[in-house]
């Protein structure tokens, strides 16, 4: 494998055409990370704008690398998808998130990201129900976030429908960034639309972003779906989203993603302010 000056392999970089050997090195490292339990889930609180209380948390995976420190998901999820390792890694994420949510003092929701590739590698219905059974978490507390990156197959849609019947919530993530947002909405009765942070980021300056947010919320209302605005960083944005009628807000203004121990402290604090 081609090495960095420090002798280690390079991580996935979308700008570089990785050599096959480099990719294999990262795959090998991911496999061993799974064995050594080097993955960790962070949790980002989501605020319910109706009640002004916590709605739940989104689980976000990190790789706690022995020498490289905390590696963000965008640097290894693509390779995990290409190599098929997203199967076992995704199963671990589901089981860990459900087990953690089960330890919370409040019956908050936990939102888990599902890679579209997981459907090719796993019987997602079986993986999710296993995580629920192992943890004892009620299905109503689990929400799955699906991005609009890949066309949902008949099989994937069928799995999601069965999970929905159990009470699991299904969200359409990063809404508006793909090129098939509308056909996605038509292909499955999602419970929630997550408004991508790129629209929220520009909303105070750009009337175009505001128009898209407003239209998305209107569309979601008509389709009986709720909305979460992502990437909320300022009070101004939060106020405007409230006025626009978003159901929930998520972003650094409310809280950054944090380890489960920090989240416990955060929840205790908001319960006893
Ligand atoms: P996402 O699902 O859209 O997750 C939201 C991302 O936005 C997270 O980045 C979060 O840390 C970040 N974020 C939250 N609030 C703010 C804010 O106010 N400002 C800014 N600038 N950023 C904010 P993260 O954790 O690096 O995750 C990136 C992406 O990696 C996720 O995007 C998701 O697509 C993927 N990912 C993360 N965890 C998982 C996982 O467990 N499984 C799968 N399949 N994908 C995951
Ligand atoms: Ca997400
Ligand atoms: Ca998102
Ligand atoms: Ca995203």
Distance (Å) from CA 171 to ligand 4 centroid: 13
Q: Give 223-243 pLDDT, tens digit per residue.
A: 999 999 999 999 999 999 999
Q: What is the pTM of this model?
A: 0.93
73, 79, 127, 172, best to mutate for ligand 1 pocket (most atoms within 8 Å of CB): 73
Distance (Å) from CA 229 to ligand 4 centroid: 12
Residue of 173, 240, 172, 148 whose CA lies nearest to 202: 240
Q: Does ipTM top 0.85? A: yes
Q: Give 117-172 pLDDT, tens digit per residue.
A: 999 999 999 999 999 999 999 999 999 999 987 778 889 999 999 999 999 999 99
Q: Give 47-101 pLDDT, tens digit per residue.
A: 999 999 999 999 999 999 989 999 999 999 999 999 999 999 999 999 999 999 9
Instruction: Please name which ligand lies nearest the alpha carbon of 146.
Output: 2
Q: Residue 164: CB partners within 8 Å, gap ≥ 6?
A: 170, 189, 191
Q: Pocket residues for ligand 1 (CB within 6 Å)? A: 44, 59-61, 72-74, 77, 93, 113, 115, 173-174, 197, 231-233, 250-252, 257
Strands (E), 76-225: 109-114, 142-147, 169-175, 192-195
């Amino acid at each position: 494998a081609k090495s960095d000056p420090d002798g280690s392999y390079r991580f996935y970089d979308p700008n570089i055409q990785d050599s096959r050997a480099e990719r294999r090195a990262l795959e090998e490292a991911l496999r061993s990370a799974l064995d050594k339990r080097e993955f960790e889930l962070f949790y980002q609180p989501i605020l319910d704008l109706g009640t002004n209380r916590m709605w739940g948390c989104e689980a976000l995976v990190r790789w706690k690398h022995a020498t490289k420190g905390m590696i963000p998901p965008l640097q290894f999820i693509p390779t995990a998808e290409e190599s098929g390792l997203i199967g076992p890694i995704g199963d671990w994420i589901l089981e860990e998130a459900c087990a953690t949510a089960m330890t919370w003092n409040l019956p908050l929701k936990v939102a888990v990201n599902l890679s579209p590739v997981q459907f090719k590698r796993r019987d997602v219905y079986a993986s999710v129900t296993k995580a629920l059974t192992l943890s004892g978490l009620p299905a109503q507390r689990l929400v799955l976030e699906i991005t609009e990156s890949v066309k949902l197959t008949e099989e994937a849609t069928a799995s999601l429908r069965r999970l929905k019947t159990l009470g699991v919530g299904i969200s359409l993530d990063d809404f508006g960034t793909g090129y098939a947002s509308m056909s996605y909405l038509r292909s499955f009765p999602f419970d929630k639309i997550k408004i991508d942070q790129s629209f929220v980021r520009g909303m105070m300056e750009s009337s175009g972003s505001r128009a898209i947010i407003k239209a998305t919320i209107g569309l979601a209302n008509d389709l009986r779906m709720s909305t979460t605005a992502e990437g909320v960083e300022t009070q101004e944005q939060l106020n405007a989203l409230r006025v626009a009628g978003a159901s929930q807000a998520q972003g650094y203004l409310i809280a950054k993603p944090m380890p489960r121990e920090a989240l416990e402290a955060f929840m205790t604090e908001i319960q006893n302010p």
